[in-house]
Each structure stands twice: as structure tokens, then as C-alpha cells.
Structure 1
Amino acid sequence: MTDSQPHHPTHADHRALGEAHDYTAVVERALAALDLDTKVRLLSGQDMWTLPAVPAIGLRSLVMSDGPVGVRGREWNAEDPSVTLPSPTALAATWDPALARRAGHLLAQEARRKGVHVLLAPTVNLHRSPLGGRHFECYAEDPLLTGAIGAGYVRGVQEGGVGTTVKHFVGNDAETDRFTVDNRIAPRPLRELYLAPFEHIVEHARPWGVMTAYNRVNGATMTEHRALVQDVLRGEWGFDGVNVSDWTAARDTVRALRGGLDVAMPGPRTVYGAPLAEVVRAGEVAESEVDDAVRRVLLLAARTGCLEGVPAAVGPAGVPQGVDGRAVAREIARRGCVLLRNEPVGGARRALPLDAAALRRVAVIGAAAREAKVLGGGSATVFPDAVVSPLEGLRAALPDDVEVTFAVGADPRTRVPHARDGFTLRARYLAADGRVLAEAPQADGKVQLTGRLPEGVTRQDLSAVELTGSYLPRLTGSHTLAVSGTGELRLTVGGAVLFDGRLAPEGSDPFEPYLHPGQRRMTAELTAGESVEVTLRCTADGPQTGDSPASPAFALGHGEPQPDADAEIEEAVRAAAGADVAIVVVATSEETESEGFDRSDLRLPGRQDELVTRVAAANPHTVVVVNSGSPVELLWRTEVPAVLLSWFPGQEAGAALADVLLGAHEPGGRLPTTWPARLADAPVTTVTPADGQLTYSEGVYMGYRGWQRSAATPAYPFGHGLGYTDWEYESLDTTPDSVRVRIRNAGGRPGREVVQIYLAPTADAAPDAPERPARWLAGFAVVEAGPGESAEAEIPLPDRAFAVWEAGDGGDAADGGWRRVKGVYRVEAAHSVADRRLTAEVTVG
């Protein structure tokens, strides 16, 4: 057995990645000037998002913000909009680390605009099961693809002088009981799969931060996991950045410090700060251990420009500036689109791209066509300034003489949306004696106080928040009102009290009031054009945040009178029957895919499956756009000629969709995860712990590795995706170190292909070779060529592609080594894991 040598970063390593300065001297001077009480304050958040300033040493307050598709900043509301990129699944579907790096440049620009120094992203947990609620926020089921996209993202952000926090280290691959679950993962899959993306990013991008997860791994909570943090992450891989806890994850002062946790968030009441000073003075831990953590925090401050005396660490070309956010969002959205199916219509040309010149009437169908679902739920939520819906994008792109009709057909929403259209609202912040502490306009019916309070308001004085204003109905009839949140809520509409009661969280997740609060509905008969006064008052008793007695989070929902659901589907069928093409947009939403809970099935919500089937029967030229962040069952996929996956497409959703449907750009995406035909077929369908434990019993057979030994066939395999041209794979030359593939564009349009390289062991493998999957991804490259042109891709074969992890006598992931498995391997150049075009053999000694 051979073991790769741990790599420790040198100053040359950092300079190669754009870090041109040695910060050691300035960090040591700053550290020497601090007393114990100041040191421990630097290891604890001073509030929800920041670390404290220390003016005496030139240290400014360091600001963190959630990502990964935008930079929210300290405010969690629509008053502070953010450029909103497509979901990470869409970015991974491009298979393009260079594009991920450009996304990072944009996000660094956004962070600097908002005064943010550290982005709490990217999320590089794996798609272990399609039920994972945060699936949309992660990249892929494959560790190499995840690591490569994540490394591009990290490099791009940090080249802008903004830190990243790669998360959630490690095993946060589902949301059920995420605060308490003990994920039991054997050393080999832990090393080969779940730790691998983090290792790749540490080696290739040198992130300035890592966030440890809520969950336990093999008995130890990750904020105290010395073996994985101190021994593997820092010792073996040479990570020199800050380890920050997920919010409220730190549990024990001594065990956290000994386990390698540097910063406990949020603050100021955490296991660090004053409790840490107490255990140092009691002799339970040495002050030198505190110093190690403070050094890393000061290094992060220096790298991000928060420590006087040295400039921020930026890329060799300096801080990227003038990045066009809309253009980047649009490019990722169209490059990430995956064309799953594209069959001829009536024996003629394929369904896509559409020929605009031949169209006279286009039916656009589905509630998500009018209101694109661009985000999943949870801490990944940001607020775009504006969203281009599919309906708007198509109307803008089609010629003026093409009639575009719209029908709702079916709505994916299961909750009443936040009050907005027709409402004029303001929020009043009230003291216990009724005094108005502050008042501010409110963009919609959602009030969420997780950042800074309005000027003049303190947590201690705040007793209630009142959302008040008027509503001018557009329609006469029975309007649906809804209240959600935590605390005592009283809703008054037109002088009548419609709700007066207390709402409390139903689950154990402390962030439930913010992520998915319960909702109560009621109705009011309103008349079009007659304004009514509306007031929703919340006296909060929500979870404590720092020194806050309460952090109000509540919302007013509103829905207009709705026609009969059967009638809406009938209207959609009539619109489709009279059109040259029917474009049906089906969707999930933040109600289905979110932090805080896992999915129970993969069905499209509402009656959307029925809608597609009915429309397809009425019009043979039906194109279905799937607007979801994660896999869904496509029960009707063989009934329609074209299925296009747009993921959660970000703010430029409709513009990018029009680019692809009308052929201005081809859909460039390939699946970063396998799409099952049925949930029951997937290799992993259990995300609910039993007796507090979730056993990864599949071992290394997760994702396509598991599908390859299953009798079931997925709807669409890993790596699948069609373009608007055809590719011929002409030659494959390989050595144990690299592969050279030559392909030719055999179609009539320019195109982009993702060349995927898989390794497969043969019968000539070493006699003592361990059991391995049938094949695994070893490399990939994106190539472009015009009609009739050829292109070559040279793809390295890393040493690790031929290795397996062998655990040592201790039996954990920190004890053992990598073994290079000798023998003969098939090297496969492929369009997808199931569509392998060329094969060669290579002997590894």
C-alpha cells in the first residue's frame, strides 16, 4: 500500500493562486497586541453576520453573507436586491469550471458592493439521494465534477479579494434531523466520495474558509471532529483557512476548540467569547490553542482587506471590475439548460429549435411561465431586482406578428404567496408601551428580521411589529388571506378581525420560523376598485438570536379569486389546440425544495402532470420546460417530443429560455446527476434517520455508480444532454497520465460538446484489487466546433483516478492511505455514462 504525501501550502502556492503577499508578520504583530478577552471575542460572532472590529490593531469588522447564487448581505429582505444566478445544479450542468470562475468574479463584485468580506458558499455536499431537500444548492452526484466546479467558483470569488466558506464539511447530504443525525459512513466512501470535493478544492483553489456541518459523522459532531478537521483537513491537506461553524452548530467550548473550530456563529452568545476565556483561565485549554484560531481569523482579515498594513489578496489581474451581472446570469442559464429529449414532430424536423419564421401562434402554458421559479428555499434565498419570466422572454424574442397566448393550466404552489400586487404596506416597529420606534415602507407582505434592525430600534425595546396599509382589489369575489410566522398574530381586514391567535413551529429545526413557517388561511369577500385597510400585527416569541429576546419573522399572504381548476386545464388545452407549438412550463418551488426539510417524493406538485398529458394530446408539437432545481419524475416524457430542463434559472430565466428555444444558442448542459424514472428505482431512497443514525449502507455505490449495478434503468443517465448538432468521436489516444480525444461536429450548426472520460477496471486487474464500480468519471473537457470542424481535447488522468482508500487499523478516515490499484483499465470517451463512443486500454503499474 502506498500513501500520497500530505501537501502543506507554501507562500509559492498562494502566489500561484493570486495571493501575492506574506501576511505572517502583520498577523503576528496584531496577535501580540491582543489580550485574552479580545482574542476570544474574535472567535465569536458579534451578531448574526459579523465579527467584531478591534481598532487598536487596525482590524475592521468582518462581514459574512449567505450565497451561493447571489450575495444577500446583512439584510434578509427585498429592500436590498442582489444579482441572482441560476441554481448550483444549473452551474454544474455546464461542466465548465471556467464559467464557474466567472460567476465567482461577479459574486466578488457583488460582495464588495455590499460591504461583504466572506461569502458563505459554495455548497459541495453530494447528491446522495434525489430526496435531499438542499439538492438544488449542491452541484452533482459525482465528487470530481463537484470539486472542479467548486474550485472554479472559489478561485473566482477569492480573486476578487472576497473569502469563500466551502460547506458543509462533511456529510450534510440531507436535511432530516440535520442538527442531531449521526451519519455512519465507512472510511472508503467517506474518502472517495464525500470528502473528495473538499480535498479537490483545498488542493486546487486554496479556500480561505470552510464551514463545518450540524450533523455528526461516525459519532462525533462536525464542530468537534478532530480526526476530520485537525488531522485530515488541516494536517493532511494543509488547509490554512478559518473553520466557521454552521449557524448555532457549536455545542461545547473545549471540544470545539480541540476539534479545530475557529469561529462560532452567530453571536454574541456562543460557546466561545466569555466561556472560552473562562476555560483558559481554569487551565482546561491553553491560551496557545486560542492563539492558533485567532491567527487564522487575522489571516482571513488580511486576505479580505480588513487588517490595516497589507492589501487584500486578489488575483494576478487585480480585482475583477465591470462584470455584467445580467449577462453572466443569462449565460449560465442557457449553458446549463439540459435538452433531455428532442424527437421529430410528425416525421418532420425535430421539435427544437423552433423556427420563428414558421410560427404564427404560440401557446405558453403553466403558472411558472408567468412567474418563473428561480430559487430554492432557505439560506440560499436572495432577492433579485427583477426576474424575466418565460412568458416575457418569449414575447420579447418572437417577431411582432407571432401571437403569444397564455393559460395558467395548473399552479405548482401549495402556499398562498406573499401579498404584493395591489398592496401598499409599511412596517411599524413598536415598543411595549405602544411607542413607534421606527417605520419603513415594505415591498411585500414578508417581514423577516435576521439582519440589522431599523435605526432607532433595539432588540430589547422591540415588542411587536405591525404590517399595515391598504389593498386595492383587482377582482370582485372571495380573496384568500393567509398569515404565517411565530408568535401572537392578529389580522384585520376592512375593520374585521380575520385571525387572532398564536402560531408556533411544528418541527424541531430552530430555523423553521424563517425557512418554512406554518400558514393559516382565511377568506374575505372584496369588491374590485374598493380599497380596504389591512393590518397584521406580530408579537414575536421566536428563537433567540444573539442577545435578541425575539427575532420576528412573519408574513401576510394573499391570493385573488381563482377559477375552477378543471376550467383552467380546459382553457390550456384549448389554447394548445389552436397553436403551432405549445410550450408548457412545469415547476417545483421553494415550497418543494428547501433547506430545512427533505422531499417525500419526486412528483410535480399540483395537477401539472395531468396538464402536460392533456396538452400533449391536443397538440403534437408540445415542448415541456422543467423548472426545478432537482430531479422530478417525468411521467409523460415519452408523450411529448421535447423536454428541456432549465433548473432554477435565476433572474434572466425567460431571456435565456428564449435564446435556447429559438436556437440563438444551443442548450449546452449535461446532467450532473442521474434522473430516475421512479423514485423507487434510485440507489438511495432513505434520508430519514433510525434511532438517530443514518447509515450510508450503499458504500461507494451512490449515484451512477449505484445505478450501474441496478436492474432499473434511469429516465436519463448521468452526463446526458442533447444539443442542436451531432458529434462523431474520431480518435482516442491514452497514456496512464492523459487522454487525447478528437471529435468532429457532424451537424449543420456550431456546437459545444462535453467530452467525458470514464475508467473501467478489466478482468486483468490485480488479483487483490478491491471491488469497484463498473466505471467512474476520471476527467472531462468542454470543446466547441463549427459545422464539419474537428476539435481535440487533452484531458489529464489524475493519479487518484486509479486509487482506492484503504483504512488502517484504526478504521477511520484519518487512518489509512491511498492505494494505486495496478492492472489494465478501459479508458472510455463518452457523451454520457451510458453513451460511450470510443474505448482504449491502459496498463497501470
Structure 2
Amino acid sequence: MKNGQNANTLTLEEKINLCSGKDFWCTQEIPRLHIQETRFSDGPHGLRKQTGQADHLGTNPSLTAICFPSGAALAASFDRELLVEIGQTLGRECQAEGIDVLLGPSMNIKRSPLCGRNFEYFSEDPCVTGELAAAYIQGLQSKHIGASPKHFAVNNQENQRMYSSSDVDERTLREIYLHAFETVVDKAQPWTIMCSYNRLNGVYTSENKWLLQDILRKEWGFAGCVISDWGAVSNRPLGISAGMDLEMPGNGGKNKEAIQTALHKGVLLETELDTCAGRVAALAQRCHENRVTEKQETCSLAQDHERAIRAAERCIVLLKNSQVLPLQAKEKILFVGEFVEHPRYQGGGSSHIAAFQVETVLERIMTHETSHYVKGFRAANDHREERLLKEAETAAMMADKIVVFAGLPESYESEGYDRSHMRLPAVQNELIFRLTALHKPVIVVLQNGSPVEMPWESAVQGILELYLGGEGVGAAIWNILFGKANPSGRLAETFPQRLEDIPSYPGYSGNSYSIPYSEGIFVGYRYYEKKKLSVLYPFGYGLSYTQFAYGKLVVRQKKQAVSAANSKDVVLTAEITVKNIGDRAGREVVQLYMADQTEVVPHPEKELRDFACIYLEPGESKSVCFTLTVRDFCWYDSFQHTWWFDSGSYMLAVGKSSQNLLCKALISLINEQADHRPPCFPINPDMMLGDLLQHSWTKQYTEKEVLPYVERLLGRDRNAKTEKVFTQMVRYLPIRALRNFGVMTDVEVMRIVDEIQKICRQKT
């Protein structure tokens, strides 16, 4: 059954039943039509299959599975191939356990470091988020297991997530918060998409026809099934009408009467119900066919565990290294912090995995003659014990180097609530400062799901960011510390100096029914660079044990004049050669940024447009070639409701981070549609003269018919100084002001408005 086709074979009751789950994890089956159930399971960085009492907060038991690094960690790899591999591995595990659809990846934009679920999300940047999520989905669905990217859309905080409204303008919505979802639909065609709990501009996303129908299906071409987040449904008939196909979990038919009543009153059309039921049935058929026809691959948790270790290695970010890393086997190393024996490797909530085998650093210390461990502090809370602090200080006296495993307790960040600050527990900061006072090299290893403040940053000699690195993180960080593996992670989010610096800080109380996204498009590095704010560590930043040299950036522009309507047309290729000039093999993340220099509308200083993670042996060189299309140069015009770019200059830059750009090239573009574009302002008495003079359609008429009135008002005799004043005043002068100042009548104002409307109609 294909998306509503042959829905007449279903009874009304069967249609209604299909649009709601049978239980917590499965859809309804219709035996007489051979429609079988579809089986869902939580992800996204592991399989959380429950066979007993079900829940969506990770509190009840689930089957043992591999816990891979969380989304925040995986994003730091900037490695599409790694995400494909993890998706494939999860697909095999789903096959082995009879799961049809894995709920993931989680791909909301990191608007604020305070969001309690940031550990699950990829990045503050929509390019990174979309590309890595698409790779994950491609890997998962290559094993014939459906993905369910979530949470669609603009679900960027946990506090009051069930009913708060994310109030955002359309340009920001399109460029920042929907962009990544558009990418995964275009590049990966997920089988399902999960809509979020929150409202978008006052309308629940599960009832938002503009979001689910006009944008997702009609504009982007999504052909799969839209499912609700668990418990997100507010008004089921409105949801069906909006195109939200499947309500999860099942609630025993509690919405059946509401649907029947809506059908009877004509509020809900049966054709709308047919469409939703048909899509749920089509998903069930697809899953059933894959179970029957696809060869089930073998799944070895032991082998997958090794993959989890390798993945964690590629996610670790070296933030600081004052020639103290890697550690040498003969050095006396003191390890401090209870995270050494109890690593923080995953977050709390629906993504919580019953891990197969958790690797700890303590296990390795036990077999390493020159390493020693003391607790120093408790990992689970902020409780200060002077005895533990003094024990650490005493042990540190005998060490050559000190490695402190610090981080956030699980209670600090989880699904369901947000953080109120960015600080580590006070006892951890105190311990680090006390150890630095001993004037020995101190290396801090961080385990946290989101940025933290580092008041001791300048006092320590080394910093490694692990994020939540999955069950293999203990082995991975040991290999990194001792140089068996080379750190290659890069920050997929900015680490600000302090909480007050973040763009959403003024309006981010986390306790409001209405959340104003007043920072607009200036999220993450886009904001810090526009404000010229110094940060702790910039977006894209990360160090290595080797060094890379960049060659010349070679840009080959296919065409200068292009049309904004042809969004997928290739504009140029940008190629650069990178060489490993160090003595260790390593991975480099090459980042391509674009800066719009047309100055027609506000833009960030630069925006990431593509990236590549490349592996190089010592002395090896590789060329990286990026391809940019028309869409890469576009911004979203909320007035015309379309993507647009302006004729003018654009800077391309390649480098190691958003603040370390090594090669640049300037290009020029001409928009072939510029002379055919309607004015981006309402044609009424409030229209400004500056807009009329700037637009090619209205410029000549305005100069001839309107400026004489202005000169009558401001005078003809002007010198250089008054000419500048005249020009600026005219720019922001509405037509109606000429009436208010007595140089134009109401009739003349409306005549001008009518003439300009006529000109625009003739042009279109």
C-alpha cells in the first residue's frame, strides 16, 4: 500500500487504528490485509531495545548493546565515513534484534550550551549537522533499517519542551534550524521523520501543516512517514489533517472518538485520514519486505565494541598541548578524579544504553608500572572532601605529570531539563588549581556533553575534550594520551569564555511559554565573529600530534552569471593540497568557509560550506576538492519566500578552524534574475524612497516623479555637506512623510502608489 493508494480496502476503524501505535514500540497490524507491525527502538548512538516494561526516559532495563560516542562527540570527528560505518553497525544490530526503525539521529541545532540534551546533538552549524546526519542515515538504511531523524523542528531546549513556542523569523528558520533536515531529506531520504514536542511560532509541530506538508513534503519532496515524539500529540485530528501520520506511543484508542467526531463534523476529511493511514501501511510493508527478503548479516558485539573504541579515538579533541603530550611510558603519571574508574560515557534519557563493555582508564593503570591513581573527588556530585583533595596533592608530589579526569556529573545534563550554568563542580575546579600550584605539568581530560567554563585554562599545560565518548572511551583516551593514536577531533561548537557571552543568553531563561529567537541567524560562531567577541576555543578548532601544511587554493569558476532559481547548478570547484609535514600519521579536517561581501542584507562574517576529513601518513600529500552550487551562496528572502543571492563579491577561505584561515580567494557572481525580481517591500504609502531608488523596476519612475517633491521639501541649493544629509534622509523617508510635511496630497500619494503597483504588475 503506497501512501494512501488503495486505502479503500481499509475500514474506517482500521484507518484510525493504523494512525496510532499498538503499544509503546509497535504499530498496529491488520492481519486480514497482511499489514504487519513496525517495530521501533530508541537510538541514536546505540540500540535501546526493551523487552519488559517500556519507557522513554531510559530508566527501565533494555537489552545489552554497543554504546557508541554520543552525537556531540561524533560531530567532533567531522568524518562522514565514520558516521556511515556507525550507521551500518547499528543497522546490523537492529537486524539481529528484529527492529525495523531506529529513532535517530538527533539533529537539533545547539542554540545554547545550556540545553540538557546537547550531548545528543551534533553541532551549532547546520552544514555539519546535515552532512553527518545524512551519512549516519545512509549507513543505517543501507542495512534496510529505517532512520527517524529528530526532532522536527526548532526543539533547542529541554525546559518546558512539551509546550513552549520557539518564535523564530522565517529567514532564521530556513537558514539555521531547517537547513540540516532539508539536507537529510535531499541526500538520504529517511524512511521516517519525528516531529518535536514544542510549538513553532505558536503552533505545535505535530499539527503544523505549513511545516509538515508545505515545506517537508511539497517543497523538499519527503516521501516517508511522519511520526510523533513519544507523547507529543495535543490534538490528533489536527495532526492527521496536518500530515502527522503516526501517533506514538499507542494509547489504547483514546483518540479514536475525537477522530470520528472530527470526521463527522467535517473538520477532518477522510481523504486526509486515508493518506496518513496509507503512509503507515506503506512503512509496515517496506519493513516486512526487508525482513523477508534481505539477508540477515551477522552481528558480533565484541567486534562492534572494537569499532566503538576506534570511533571514540577519532572524536577526541586536543585543545591545549604545551609540549606535555603524548605521555612517555617511563614517566611517573598520577591520574586523579573518579571519572578514571567511572567514566561519563553517555547521557541520561531515552538514549541511555545498557552498554556491552565499558572500558575504564583504571583497568590500564593497574597494568602500567609508572602510573598511579587517586580519587581526588567524587564523580557523581559536587561534594567536597578535604581528605581526598589532600591525598591528591600528596600523591602529586611524587609524579612527573598529573592527569585530571574532570567533567559533569550525569545529574548536571540530561534529557528533560537544562543546565542553569556552564561551570564544572566547584570541587573539581579547586582540585585543578591546587594541583597547578605544585608547578608540575597538569593535563585536564574533560568528560561532558556540552561546553564548560575553564577558569584554570591558562594554568594547565594540556586539555583534552572527550565529550561523552561511548563505552570504548577509556581505551580510546589511554591510546591518545600515550600516543598510540593521534587526536583528530575538532570542535563542532564554539566554547565561549562565559555564559553571558552566548547569543541566546538574554532571552534564555528556559522557563517561558514563548522563546524569542531574537539573535536570528547569528548562532554560535556566526554571532561571536560578528560581535568580535573573544572565545575560549573557536568552532572547528583542534590540535594534533603532527603538523599539516596547506598549499594554494585553486578556484575554478564554472560560470559567473547564474540564476538563483537553479539552486543545484555548480558554480565552482575549490581545490587545495594538504601535506603531513610531521613525523606521525594523522587526520586533518579541512574546512571551507564562504563570506558574502555584497552588503545588501546582514550576513555572518563567514559560514561553513563544506569540510573533509583526510588521513595522511608522514610526508604524504592529498588534494581536497570542494564543489559549491548556487544554493551555497544564497540567503532566504522572507518577503519573497525564496532563496536568493545578490550580485557581487564572495570570499572563499580554507583553514583549520573558523578563526584560522590559511588560504583565501575572491570571486564575483552575477544573478541573472536580478532584473526580474519583484521588490522586497510592500507597495503602500509606507514604502521608503531608498528602496524605490535602489530597485531597478522603480528607480526611474521615482527619480522623475517623486524626487521633485523631496527637493521642494528639502531645497535644491545644497553643498557637499548638505548633499550627504539629503541622501541619507531620502533613503529612509516613507512616501507618506511627504504628505505629512505638506508637499504632497493624499491623492498624490495614492497616485504614486498605484503607478508603482502598475509598474510591478507589468514586469511580472
- Using the size of structure 2 for normalisation, the TM-score is 0.82
Verify: 1:725 aligned to 2:546, yes or no: yes
Q: For the Cα contact (< 8 Å) 2:400–2:440, is it kept in 1? A: no
Q: CA deviation at 1:644?
A: 0.4
2:568 alignment partner in structure 1: none
2:632 alignment partner in structure 1: 801
Q: For the Cα contact (< 8 Å) 1:754–1:782, is it kept in 2? A: yes
Q: CA deviation at 1:799?
A: 2.3
Q: 2:228 aligns with which of 239, 245, 257?
A: 245
Secondary structure, in 3 states, of the residue corresponding to 2:437? Answer: helix
Q: CA deviation at 1:93?
A: 0.4
Q: For the Cα contact (< 8 Å) 1:264–1:272, is it kept in 2? A: no
Amino acid at match of 1:65: S
1:430 alignment partner in structure 2: none
2:312 alignment partner in structure 1: 333
Distance 2:651 2:253 in 1: 53
Cα distance change, pair 52–306 in 1 and its aligned pair in 2 (3 A) = farther
Amino acid at match of 1:714: V
Secondary structure, in 3 states, of the residue corresponding to 1:780? Answer: strand
Distance 1:276 1:702 in 2: 40
Secondary structure, in 3 states, of the residue corresponding to 1:354? Answer: coil
Distance 1:218 1:116 in 2: 35
Cα distance change, pair 689–404 in 1 and its aligned pair in 2 (3 A) = closer
Distance 2:112 2:456 in 1: 22
Q: CA deviation at 1:208?
A: 0.7
Q: For the Cα contact (< 8 Å) 2:157–2:510, is it kept in 1? A: no
Q: CA deviation at 1:635?
A: 1.1
Amino acid at match of 2:411: E
Amino acid at match of 1:696: Y
Q: For the Cα contact (< 8 Å) 1:827–1:841, is it kept in 2? A: yes
Q: CA deviation at 1:808?
A: 3.2
1:67 alignment partner in structure 2: 43
After TM superposition, the structure 1 = structure 2 runs for residues 471-550 of structure 1, keeping only pairs within 5 Å, are none
Distance 2:453 2:629 in 1: 35
Distance 1:70 1:79 in 2: 11
Distance 1:158 1:259 in 2: 26
1:516 alignment partner in structure 2: none
Q: 2:477 aligns with which of 644, 651, 657?
A: 657
Q: CA deviation at 1:698?
A: 0.4
Q: CA deviation at 1:655?
A: 0.6
Q: 2:379 aligns with which of 402, 406, 412?
A: 412
Q: CA deviation at 1:235?
A: 0.7
2:128 alignment partner in structure 1: 145
Secondary structure, in 3 states, of the residue corresponding to 2:410? Answer: coil
1:565 alignment partner in structure 2: 385
Cα distance change, pair 212–24 in 1 and its aligned pair in 2 (3 A) = closer
Task: Deviation per CA, 1:153-182: give whole Å up to 9, x if none.
Answer: 111111111111111111100111111111
Q: 2:63 aligns with which of 80, 99, 103?
A: 80
Secondary structure, in 3 states, of the residue corresponding to 2:346? Answer: coil
2:34 alignment partner in structure 1: 58
Q: CA deviation at 1:662?
A: 0.9
Distance 1:80 1:251 in 2: 31
Verify: 1:353 aligned to 2:326, yes or no: yes
Q: 1:680 aligns with which of 500, 523, 531?
A: 500
Q: CA deviation at 1:580?
A: 2.2
Q: CA deviation at 1:800?
A: 1.9
Secondary structure, in 3 states, of the residue corresponding to 1:169? Answer: coil
Amino acid at match of 1:326: H
Structure with greater proportional helix content: 2
Secondary structure, in 3 states, of the residue corresponding to 1:831? Answer: strand
1:105 alignment partner in structure 2: 88
Cα distance change, pair 646–569 in 1 and its aligned pair in 2 (3 A) = same
1:544 alignment partner in structure 2: none
Q: 1:743 aligns with which of 578, 582, 586?
A: 578
Secondary structure, in 3 states, of the residue corresponding to 1:829? Answer: strand
Distance 1:271 1:824 in 2: 59
Secondary structure, in 3 states, of the residue corresponding to 1:102? Answer: helix
Secondary structure, in 3 states, of the residue corresponding to 1:644? Answer: strand
After TM superposition, the structure 1 = structure 2 runs for residues 100-499 of structure 1, keeping only pairs within 5 Å, are 100-269=83-252, 272-305=255-288, 311=293, 324-343=303-322, 350-356=323-329, 358-359=330-331, 361-395=332-366, 398=368, 402-414=369-381
Q: For the Cα contact (< 8 Å) 1:412–1:605, is it kept in 2? A: no
Distance 1:567 1:327 in 2: 38
Distance 1:91 1:691 in 2: 31
Distance 1:262 1:804 in 2: 31
1:576 alignment partner in structure 2: 396
Secondary structure, in 3 states, of the residue corresponding to 1:379? Answer: coil
Distance 1:209 1:279 in 2: 26
1:826 alignment partner in structure 2: 651
Q: CA deviation at 1:105?
A: 0.8
Q: Which has the higher contact order (CA 8 A, sep 6+)?
A: 1
Distance 1:154 1:743 in 2: 29
Distance 2:366 2:474 in 1: 9
Secondary structure, in 3 states, of the residue corresponding to 2:151? Answer: strand
1:622 alignment partner in structure 2: 442
Amino acid at match of 2:664: T
Q: For the Cα contact (< 8 Å) 1:210–1:241, is it kept in 2? A: yes
Q: CA deviation at 1:320?
A: 8.0
Distance 2:275 2:255 in 1: 14
Task: Deviation per CA, 1:562-584: give whole Å up to 9, x if none.
Answer: 9x701101101112221122111
Amino acid at match of 1:582: I
Q: Which ranges in structure 1 are unaligned for 5 or more consecutive residues?
A: 1-22, 344-349, 416-561, 810-815
Distance 1:62 1:79 in 2: 19
Q: For the Cα contact (< 8 Å) 2:241–2:273, is it kept in 1? A: no
Q: CA deviation at 1:28?
A: 4.4
- Using the size of structure 1 for normalisation, the TM-score is 0.74
1:703 alignment partner in structure 2: 524
Distance 1:593 1:798 in 2: 39
2:463 alignment partner in structure 1: 643
Secondary structure, in 3 states, of the residue corresponding to 1:623? Answer: strand
Q: CA deviation at 1:790?
A: 1.6
Q: Which ranges in structure 2 are unaligned for 5 or more consecutive residues?
A: 52-57, 558-570, 671-764
Task: Deviation per CA, 1:242-292: give whole Å up to 9, x if none.
Answer: 111111111113211111111111112466444324433454322221111
Q: RMSD between aligned alpha carbons?
A: 2.1
Larger Rg: 2
Distance 1:330 1:723 in 2: 19
Secondary structure, in 3 states, of the residue corresponding to 1:615? Answer: helix
Identity of aligned residues (%): 34
Structure with greater proportional strand content: 1
Q: For the Cα contact (< 8 Å) 1:93–1:669, is it kept in 2? A: yes
Distance 1:702 1:386 in 2: 38
1:429 alignment partner in structure 2: none
Verify: 1:838 aligned to 2:663, yes or no: yes
After TM superposition, the structure 1 = structure 2 runs for residues 710-789 of structure 1, keeping only pairs within 5 Å, are 710-734=531-555, 735=557, 736-762=571-597, 765=598, 769-789=600-620
Task: Deviation per CA, 1:33-55: give whole Å up to 9, x if none.
Answer: 32111121111112111112222
Q: For the Cα contact (< 8 Å) 1:756–1:832, is it kept in 2? A: yes
Cα distance change, pair 721–828 in 1 and its aligned pair in 2 (3 A) = same
Q: CA deviation at 1:590?
A: 2.4
Amino acid at match of 1:710: K
Q: CA deviation at 1:90?
A: 0.7
Cα distance change, pair 79–62 in 1 and its aligned pair in 2 (3 A) = closer
Distance 2:613 2:590 in 1: 6
Distance 1:229 1:270 in 2: 24
Distance 1:690 1:221 in 2: 18
Distance 1:252 1:602 in 2: 37
Distance 1:699 1:147 in 2: 19
